Structure 1
Amino acid sequence: MPVAIALLLLSVRRERSSRAWLTGLCFGITFICTLLWWLRAVGTDAWLALSALEAAFFAPLGLGLALVSRLPGWPLWSSLLWVAVETWRGAWPFSGLPWGRLSYAVAGTPWEHGLPWIGMTGVSLLVAGTGAALAWLVVTRAARRAAAVLMTAGLAAGSLLPTVAAYPLEGEGSVTVAAVQGGVPGNDLVAVHREVTANHVTATADLAADVEAGRLPAPDFVVWPENSTAVDPFTDPSANAGIESAVDAIGVPVLVGAMVDHDRDPGQVLNQGIVWSPDTGGGDRYTKRHPVPYGEYIPLRDTGLLPTTYGQLSLIPRDMASGTRLEPLRIDGALVADAICFDVAYDDGIHAQVARGGQLLTVQTSNAMFIETAQVDQQFEISRLRAVETGRWVVVAATSGISGVIAPDGTVVAQSGRVVTEVLVEEVGLSSTITPAVRMGAWPGRVAVAGAVVSVLFAVGTYRGTNARRAPVPPEDREVART
């Protein structure tokens, strides 16, 4: 990553505005089209459309990098500009797409250990700064190279320091959690959703039998994945009966991933994690905060401004509404921060729930459509990084893979295969320690955006002022001056 960023900075350094934006766009097309290659599982049109939208953010990035390259301290401003655009496209439009943040690729590297200290945004800045330092080493003159070497050495030290100074975490006991991966025949979950629900019911009943026989420890609660029932379990008799039988068999709460009809708007649906208890049935719920535009809802459907029936969009008859909950779920005495599928890529919901007492993190996901692609691996790596960032154990339950249990240091304690039925039962720790990353919340991104805007405005003003001073004097003005 630092080498790629260094090459981008060198490509646009002091370049004309009419060319710098094009260089940035070409970089973005190459990067994003490769990153989102897995989206072809939905359709080539979806892959090209989303890639085009996300790549477009790199055009102003290239332009901005060219402008700030004329400023003193340009490596810093360039790094801030990268992170600012990363923050921007991760929040807009339609809640953005954080996929492709530099920090989402640091699992297994020294940068990973900086996550609890400076968060995802801070680590992205560190990686971008390393790339900028490399570019500085290339272009700086020998007389000034010492400063570039010092900056590079400082970034290296900053990257390595957390590896020897891990953030201290305090434990608050433990619970035993079971993650059930029922399996999906094929990759079209909707077509076989009844069978998917039955698979999770059967797997949970088998778990109960293993517990009774002493082959597995008894869990304190069970986690089912997103879309473990694709119909409302409160109104569908078959889904309700299946869940009730599974919960009665295991005798502990089950966090069920379910599609629930909106109680006030029949044109909307809710994607929820529901705490289903043996005695009281469905209770506490978390609703997915970040539904996927054009995947789970159609933006501005009623305005007619954007397409609603093109291609596979006709398969979205109802829009998925966004959740607003910021408090963790209470499951058998434990406070559980929940994230549903792509929620794990967004900071806001996870940070809010952990800051409000969440003692562990669950990720419920349904990615059968992408099971043969890199999307599954990318999302699981983000889950690993969330464990490190928040200082929490993470339990991932997927419909067909990859499910897993991850320790706060990013170690994968247990992991399922793909396209199989599998149950993972592990003892996980609880903690209420709030890492600096969680305490800072969205502020690092806001500061990066503000710093980037100020640096670009200053660069524009400086550039215009310099050009004005260098502008040629017309002949008639020179004659007047001589006179």
Structure 2
Amino acid sequence: MTLETDDRAEAQPTARPSRLARVRAGLPRTGLAALCGALLALSFPSFGIWPLSIVAVTGLALLTYRRTLKQAAWTGIVFGGVFMFWLLIWIDVIGYDAWVLLALAEAAFVMLMAMGQAAVSRLPAWPLWTACLWVTQEWARDRVPLGGLPWGRLAFANTSSPFTPLAALGGAPLVTFAVALSGALLAAAILALRARGRRAGVACAAGAVALGVVGYAVPLPTGGDTAGGPASAEIALIQGNVPHAGMDFLGRPMQVLGNHVAATEALMAKVGEGKLPQPQLVIWPENSSDVDPYVTPEAYQLIDGAAKQAGVPILVGALVDGPDATHVMNEGIVWDPKTGPGAHYTKQHLVPFGEYVPFRSFLSQYISELKRVAVDFSPGDKTGVLQVGPAKIGDVICFEVAYDGIVRDAVTKGGRVIVIQTNNATYEHTDQPDQQFAMSRLRAVEHGRSVVIAATSGISAVIAPNGSVIERTQLATQAELEANVPLRDGLTLADRVGATPEWALALLGLAACGFAVWQRRRQPK
């Protein structure tokens, strides 16, 4: 089997083989595409074997090199299908039909990228255009449909690799670009060596290695600074746990709230015994109050009592009624021990089919599990920068950590530490909590901020500005964490340039693809 095609041979008329013969001839390539898709899935948590992301990129580049668009489309859908079905299997908690539909939709983007790779593989410097197309694919998939789903970005498989520091320069898109370019250069090296182009092969291989090494030259902060206030804050995280995992994780009303109050009492008991220092603020996770404390007196009293016992503000995650009778809001509320509830942040980027059901009347007829999402959430329209005790935080709720712009806004608008309130109890026994945790580590490096994660049932953690994990909890446990966390005001280059690198690389990939198609059509037949 050869991975190259000869354009002259393609131009010569030949007898058309039977359909069965074509299927048999394509089986090895199909099997390799499926294998590469599986390798890419293994590069993500919970396996997290990041070098396999480079191997997968290399494999797809070889399999699409100078192929027809039809051949590349089949290769891409097989590669993307295996990858997405494996990566997103945790969606089956909502329903197998939702899992299948979402995985196929995401795989379609990979298929289009593979077709683009086949087109640009006939251009000079094709590894560069191939890498740009990886960014193009993620750029599109992160936005559409219904606000997009950023899961499966190459950057999120490289949150603890030599490529990770590049996030401080150009964010997650630059990490994706570097990983993809490294893999594409390795593919070019293999092709050059097979064609006995030793010098070109060595040069391409050296370029791939250099991309992995350059990240070590990027300086990453480890401590705080005092430009905007104290250099650190003593922060406590509460993980109260839930009755059980799955769609019905909340149990009976206020049971989860009671768990978080009890865990806060346990924390303060340790403080009173001198085992832990007095915290300056306490973070509760998303959905730590499963009822609206504004309209439920018992819930109000429980939270208020916990804040008074702690003696410091608590950031409470609560479901709040409104803005009308048919919606609720997912909020982080600053609860002061003296004045009660104050400033709040309402989650901006809602999860379709989890927090609201698009086309509800139609889809609910075919996907029965959607009826369990009884009420739609209403999104907020403001960034989650909140003053909680001595710390100005950038609050991010659950899946929002996957979206570049939301986290970047929380930092550039004043957040000195990134706080992630999350509830992954629905997906407790899947890879989803580990995948989201990996994203949080990348955000720390990207923005030069400490990241603290409060989760209902795990994974709660404290992450340093350089991405190293200071503390973390286990899943399905009640736990309290406390750490002195650096607070920072300085912005990374990634913060300053924003989405510019992503747009530039994505559009460059599209332009290269368009030029390749135009050039192909100009060739005499």
TM-score, normalisation: structure 2: 0.85
Aligned to 1:175: 233
Paired AA for residue 254 in structure 1: I
> Do structure 1's residue 23 and structure 2's residue 103 form an aligned pair?
no
- CA contact under 8 A between 1:406 and 1:412: conserved in structure 2? yes
- Is the partner of 1:180 in helix, strand or coil? strand
> Do structure 1's residue 359 and structure 2's residue 409 form an aligned pair?
no
Q: 1:12 to 1:164 in 2, by over 3 A?
A: closer
Q: Distance in 1 between matches of 2:459 and 2:299?
A: 24
Aligned to 1:230: 290
Paired AA for residue 445 in structure 2: V
> Do structure 1's residue 45 and structure 2's residue 105 form an aligned pair?
no
The residue correspondences of 1:281-292 to structure 2 (distance < 5 A) are: 281-292=340-351
Q: 1:80 to 1:145 in 2, by over 3 A?
A: farther
- What displacement does 1:148 show? 4.6
Q: 1:436 to 1:193 in 2, by over 3 A?
A: farther
- CA contact under 8 A between 1:114 and 1:159: conserved in structure 2? no
Q: 1:255 to 1:156 in 2, by over 3 A?
A: same
- CA contact under 8 A between 1:40 and 1:47: conserved in structure 2? yes
Q: Deviations over 1:354-399 (max 9, x none)?
A: 0112110111111112111111111111111111111111111111
The residue correspondences of 1:27-106 to structure 2 (distance < 5 A) are: 27-106=79-158
- CA contact under 8 A between 2:239 and 2:260: conserved in structure 1? yes
Aligned to 1:296: 355
Q: Distance in 2 between matches of 1:308 and 1:252?
A: 48
Paired AA for residue 304 in structure 2: E
> Do structure 1's residue 399 and structure 2's residue 453 form an aligned pair?
no
Aligned to 1:154: 207
Gap regions ≥5 residues in structure 2? 1-52
- Is the partner of 1:389 in helix, strand or coil? helix
Q: Distance in 2 between matches of 1:391 and 1:7?
A: 34
Q: Deviations over 1:299-338 (max 9, x none)?
A: 244xx56546721111122211222212511111321011
Which is further off, 343-352 or 168-177?
168-177
- What displacement does 1:157 show? 2.4
Q: 1:396 to 1:168 in 2, by over 3 A?
A: closer
- CA contact under 8 A between 1:181 and 1:200: conserved in structure 2? yes
- CA contact under 8 A between 2:186 and 2:204: conserved in structure 1? no
Paired AA for residue 422 in structure 1: A
Q: 1:194 to 1:69 in 2, by over 3 A?
A: same
Q: Deviations over 1:129-168 (max 9, x none)?
A: 0110011012126575434533442343243233244235
Which is further off, 405-414 or 209-218?
209-218
Aligned to 2:406: 349
The residue correspondences of 1:259-408 to structure 2 (distance < 5 A) are: 259-263=319-323, 265-301=324-360, 306-307=363-364, 310-326=367-383, 328-408=385-465
- Is the partner of 1:190 in helix, strand or coil? coil
Q: Deviations over 1:176-219 (max 9, x none)?
A: 00000001111132333421100101111222222223221111
Give the superposed CA RMSD.
Answer: 1.7
Q: Distance in 2 between matches of 1:5 and 1:165?
A: 24
Q: 1:261 to 1:235 in 2, by over 3 A?
A: same
- CA contact under 8 A between 2:190 and 2:201: conserved in structure 1? no
Q: Distance in 1 between matches of 2:152 and 2:390?
A: 36
- What displacement does 1:447 show? 1.0
Q: 1:72 to 1:427 in 2, by over 3 A?
A: same
How many matched pairs? Answer: 465
- Is the partner of 1:166 in helix, strand or coil? coil
Q: Distance in 2 between matches of 1:445 and 1:305?
A: 36
> Do structure 1's residue 240 and structure 2's residue 284 form an aligned pair?
no
> Do structure 1's residue 127 and structure 2's residue 184 form an aligned pair?
no
- Is the partner of 1:414 in helix, strand or coil? strand
The residue correspondences of 1:176-191 to structure 2 (distance < 5 A) are: 176-187=234-245, 188-191=248-251
- CA contact under 8 A between 2:241 and 2:457: conserved in structure 1? yes
Paired AA for residue 190 in structure 1: L
Q: Distance in 2 between matches of 1:145 and 1:398?
A: 53
Q: Deviations over 1:458-482 (max 9, x none)?
A: 111100001xx2x2xxxxxxxxxxx
Aligned to 1:481: none
Q: Deviations over 1:379-430 (max 9, x none)?
A: 1111111111111111111111111111112221111122111100110010
Aligned to 1:476: none
- Is the partner of 1:358 in helix, strand or coil? coil
Q: Distance in 1 between matches of 2:64 and 2:214?
A: 32
Q: 1:191 to 1:327 in 2, by over 3 A?
A: closer
Q: 1:327 to 1:295 in 2, by over 3 A?
A: closer
- Is the partner of 1:349 in helix, strand or coil? helix
- CA contact under 8 A between 1:228 and 1:257: conserved in structure 2? yes
Paired AA for residue 409 in structure 2: A
Gap regions ≥5 residues in structure 1? 472-483
- Is the partner of 2:242 in helix, strand or coil? coil
- CA contact under 8 A between 2:185 and 2:207: conserved in structure 1? no
- Is the partner of 1:140 in helix, strand or coil? helix
> Do structure 1's residue 413 and structure 2's residue 470 form an aligned pair?
yes
Q: Distance in 1 between matches of 2:309 and 2:366?
A: 44
- Is the partner of 1:20 in helix, strand or coil? helix
Q: Deviations over 1:81-125 (max 9, x none)?
A: 111001110111111010000010113311112221221100100
Q: Distance in 2 between matches of 1:308 and 1:389?
A: 43
- Is the partner of 2:163 in helix, strand or coil? helix
- CA contact under 8 A between 1:21 and 1:60: conserved in structure 2? yes
Q: Distance in 1 between matches of 2:506 and 2:163?
A: 22
Paired AA for residue 225 in structure 2: G
Identical pairs, percent: 42
Q: 1:230 to 1:4 in 2, by over 3 A?
A: same
Paired AA for residue 259 in structure 1: L
- Is the partner of 1:178 in helix, strand or coil? strand
- Is the partner of 2:487 in helix, strand or coil? strand
TM-score, normalisation: structure 1: 0.92
Q: Distance in 1 between matches of 2:424 and 2:253?
A: 13
Q: Distance in 2 between matches of 1:162 and 1:18?
A: 37
- Is the partner of 1:286 in helix, strand or coil? strand
Q: 1:147 to 1:193 in 2, by over 3 A?
A: farther
